[in-house]
A and B are shown apart, each in its own frame.
Chain A
Amino acid sequence: MTEDTALALFEKDFQKFNGTLKRWNARQVELTVDAKHLLDVMNVAITDEVHYKFLSTIVGVDLGDKLAVKYLLAHKSEMLVVTVQVPYDGPELPSITVVLPAALLYEREIHDLLGIVFTGHPNLARLVLPDDWKDGVFPLRKNCVMEKDDAGKPTGACLINQA
């Protein structure tokens, strides 16, 4: 399956999702869609015609005013990046583990580090952060700064910078 035919299928299908396609380079394409279409997009992406069955990873980014989640789907050397954006307060996304079980750990990691809740995930327990980490502090958010003790040395914890 060459990328062009897969993409042609995409373009046909994604008209109804109001997605925007952006070509990064010859082999990497980004598709931005609304969060409510995420599962539909994934269901199309893993079909045998389109064949983006391998989930490379999920990247969560703090854009400053909102959070973005990028799903990196791959087929051989080609990559499709599905981007969705969620608001800063109460970020919630449907879990794609029902479609792609490979997302199990990636979603847990993003839940830890950026505080996005994936509804429908079987077990959103803590994965990378320590057990006694303060709730509601998400280290990869931009407003999160390192806590320092009186001597100015980092204590290993994070604080939310209110300013």
Chain B
Amino acid sequence: MTVKTGFLSRLTKWARLHSPWVLHFNTGACNGCDIEILDALTPRYDIERFGIKLKATPRHADILLCSGPVNNQSAKRLRRIYEQMPSPKFVLAIGTCACSGGVFRGCYNIHAGVDTEIPVDAYIAGCPVKPEAIIDAVAKLIAKLEAA
């Protein structure tokens, strides 16, 4: 990412750091990680208090949360969604399956991880990941943005 110093770019960076909007896409997961992502939004974890908001459309999202080993059918959709997101964009691979394919590695129809299709910025291991881990990952990603 190129560093700009103009007022507008500083403003967008500030906004992005304080309120990153996330998009969730199930790339063939068992639903375990997907439910934990939703869990992170509900009162116990309440990720929204950090300004993190789940958006339903890729065109509004900064961070793409992918769960599940990518299969042949969802791979095309995944690429399309990634292309629709505005730059700069970040991808989190959520769960062991999204990292490496997990237990499904080597099954037909499986691509073994999100990074076979699109670049991934952070990997969260776990089957399923705990909501705390998702919050931790997003926080680390923000710290990375801040440093950039």
Q: Taking beta carbons and an 8 Å cutoff, which residues of A are in contact with B?
A: 129-133, 139, 144, 146, 153-154, 156-158
Q: Mark the stretch among B29-37, B45-53, B78-86, B105-113 that contacts chain A.
A: B105-113
Q: Chain B contacts of A153 at CB under 8 A?
A: 112
* Residue in B73, B105, B112 whose CB lies within 8 Å of A130: B73
State A157–B108 Cα separation when bound (angstroms).
6
Q: Chain B contacts of A130 at CB under 8 A?
A: 71-73, 109
Mask of B92-120 contacts with A, CB within 8 angstroms, 1/0: 00000000000001111111100000000
Is A156 within 8 A of B110, CB to CB? yes
Is A133 within 8 A of B72, CB to CB? yes
Q: Chain A contacts of B112 at CB under 8 A?
A: 153-154, 156
Q: Chain A contacts of B108 at CB under 8 A?
A: 139, 144, 146, 154, 156-158
Q: Smallest Cβ distance from B15 to chain A, in angstroms?
A: 38
Is B105 within 8 A of A131, CB to CB? no
State A153–B106 Cα separation when bound (angstroms).
8
Q: Which of B51-98 contact A (CB under 8 A)?
A: 71-73
Q: Chain B contacts of A157 at CB under 8 A?
A: 72, 108
Q: Chain A contacts of B110 at CB under 8 A?
A: 154, 156
* Residue in A131, A144, A146 whose CB lies within 8 Å of B73: A131
Is A156 within 8 A of B111, CB to CB? yes
Interface residues on B, range: 10 to 19
13 cross-chain CB contacts under 8 A? A129-B72, A130-B71, A130-B72, A130-B73, A130-B109, A132-B72, A139-B108, A146-B107, A154-B108, A156-B71, A156-B110, A156-B112, A157-B108
Q: Taking beta carbons and an 8 Å cutoff, which residues of B are in contact with A?
A: 71-73, 105-112
Q: Smallest Cβ distance from B148 to chain A, in angstroms?
A: 32
**Residue in A130, A131, A144, A158 with the greatest tally of chain B CB atoms within 10 Å:** A130
Known: A154-B106, A154-B108. 19 other contacts (CB 8 A): A129-B73, A129-B109, A130-B71, A130-B72, A130-B109, A131-B73, A132-B72, A139-B108, A139-B109, A144-B108, A153-B112, A154-B105, A154-B107, A154-B112, A156-B72, A156-B108, A156-B112, A157-B72, A157-B108
Q: Closest 5 A-B residue pairs measured CB to CB?
A: A130-B72, A130-B73, A158-B108, A139-B108, A156-B111
Q: Smallest Cβ distance from A93 to chain B, in angstroms?
A: 24
Q: Chain A contacts of B105 at CB under 8 A?
A: 154
Q: Smallest Cβ distance from A127 to chain B, in angstroms?
A: 11
State A139–B110 Cα separation when bound (angstroms).
13
Q: Chain B contacts of A154 at CB under 8 A?
A: 105-108, 110, 112
Q: Chain B contacts of A156 at CB under 8 A?
A: 71-72, 108-112
